[in-house]
Amino acid sequence: MLTMKKMIAEKLSEGIAALGAPSTLGVNELIAMLEYPPDEGMGDLALPCFKLSRTLRRAPVQIAAALCDCLTELAPVEKAEAVNGYLNITLSGQYLLEHVLADIAAKGERYGATDEGKGKTVVLDYSSPNVAKPFHIGHLGTTVIGHSLKKLHEFAGYQCIGINYLGDWGTQFGKLIVAYKKWGNKEMIEQGGIDKLVELYVKINNAISGNEEKGIPADPALGDESRAEFHKLELGDEENLALWRWFIDISLEEYQKTYKQLGIEFDSYKGESFYTDKMPAQVQKLRDMGLLKIDDGASIVDLEPYNMPPCLILKRDGSTLYPTRDIAAAVYRKSEYNFDKAIYVTSAGQSLHFAQWFKVVELMGYDWHDQLVHVPYGTVSINGAKLATRTGNVVLLKDLFAAAIEEVSRIMEEKNPDLENKAEVAEAVGVGAIVFYYLSNSRIKDINFVMEDALNFDGNTGPYAQYTYARTCAVLRKAGDITCDNLTYTTPEEATLVKALARFPETVEKAIADYEPSVITRYILDVAAAFNRFYHNCPIINADDAAVRATRVEITRAVNRVLGNAFPLICMRTMEKI
Beta-carbon contacts of residue 72 (< 8 Å; ≥ 6 apart): 80
**Candidate ranges 71-79, 128-136, 331-339, 429-437; the one touching ligand ARG (CB under 6 A):** 128-136
Stretch that binds ligand ARG, among 126-134, 303-311, 333-341, 442-450 (CB under 6 A): 126-134
Using CB under 6 A, pick the residue from 78, 254, 326, 427 that binds ligand ARG: 326
CB of 521 to ligand ARG, least distance (A): 24
> Quick check: 515 and 151 in contact, CB under 8 A?
no
Rounded to a whole number of angstroms, the minimum distance from the CB of residue 550 to ligand ARG is: 52
DSSP 52-82: HHHHHTS-HHHHHHHHHHHHTT-TTEEEEEE
Total residues interacting with ligand ARG, rule: CB under 6 A? 9
What is the nearest approach in angstroms of ligand ARG to the Cβ of residue 311? 13
**Is the Cβ of residue 60 or residue 129 nearer to ligand ARG in the bound state?**
129
Sole window of 83-91, 122-130, 361-369, 469-477 interacting with ligand ARG (rule: CB under 6 A): 122-130
Q: How far apart are CA 258 and CA 253, in angstroms?
A: 9
Closest CA to 502 of 575, 436, 561, 442: 561
Q: Helix or strand or coil: residue 107?
A: helix
Q: Considering the complex, state which of residue 172 and residue 565 has its C-beta at the smaller distance from ligand ARG.
A: 172
Of the pair 13, 164, the CB lying nearest ligand ARG is at: 164
Q: Assign residue 444 a region: left if phi > 0, alpha if psi is -120 to 50, beta otherwise?
A: alpha
Q: Work out how close the CB of 288 gets to ligand ARG at its nearest, in angstroms, rounded to a whole number.
A: 25
Closer Cβ to ligand ARG, 165 or 469, answer by number:
165
Q: Please check whether residue 114 is in contact with residue 509, taking contact to mean a CB–CB distance below 8 angstroms.
A: yes
Question: Among 384, 405, 387, which Cα is nearest to 396's?
Answer: 387
Of residues 12 and 321, the one with the C-beta less far from ligand ARG: 321
Q: Is 346 in the site for ligand ARG (CB under 6 A)?
A: yes
Min CB(258)–ligand ARG separation in Å = 15
Q: How far apart are CA 105 and CA 471, in angstroms?
A: 19
Per CB under 6 A, 261 contacts ligand ARG: no
Cα-based torsion angle of the residue sequence 62, 64, 69, 70 in order, rounded to the nearest 10 degrees: 120
- Which lies closer to ligand ARG via its Cβ, residue 128 or residue 461? 128
SS3 for 3?
helix
Question: Could you say whether residue 130 binds ligand ARG (CB under 6 A)?
Answer: yes
In the complex, the smallest distance separating the C-beta of residue 433 from ligand ARG, rounded to whole angstroms, is 25
Q: Which is nearer to ligand ARG, 92 or 127 (CB)?
A: 127
- Note whether 344 binds ligand ARG by CB under 6 A: yes
In terms of C-beta density within 10 A (0-12 exposed, 13-18 middle, 19 or more buried), how is residue 22 classed? exposed
Determine, following the binding rule CB under 6 A, whether residue 493 of this chain makes contact with ligand ARG: no
The alpha helices in 159-294, defined as continuous H runs, are 171-183, 186-209, 220-234, 238-262, 279-288
Within 157-196, the residues that bind ligand ARG by CB under 6 A are 165, 167
- Best CA proximity match to 161, nearest among 409, 343, 16: 343
| Site for ligand ARG, residues 204 to 223, rule: CB under 6 A | none
User: With respect to ligand ARG, which residue has the nearer C-beta, 165 or 339?
Assistant: 165
Of the candidate residues 128, 164, 461, 556, the single one contacting ligand ARG (CB under 6 A): 128
DSSP 211: B
User: Any contact of residue 125 with ligand ARG (CB under 6 A)?
Assistant: yes
Distance (Å, whole) CA 95 – CA 487: 10
Nearer to ligand ARG by Cβ, of 359 and 522: the residue is 359
Residues that bind ligand ARG (CB under 6 A): 125, 128-130, 165, 167, 326, 344, 346
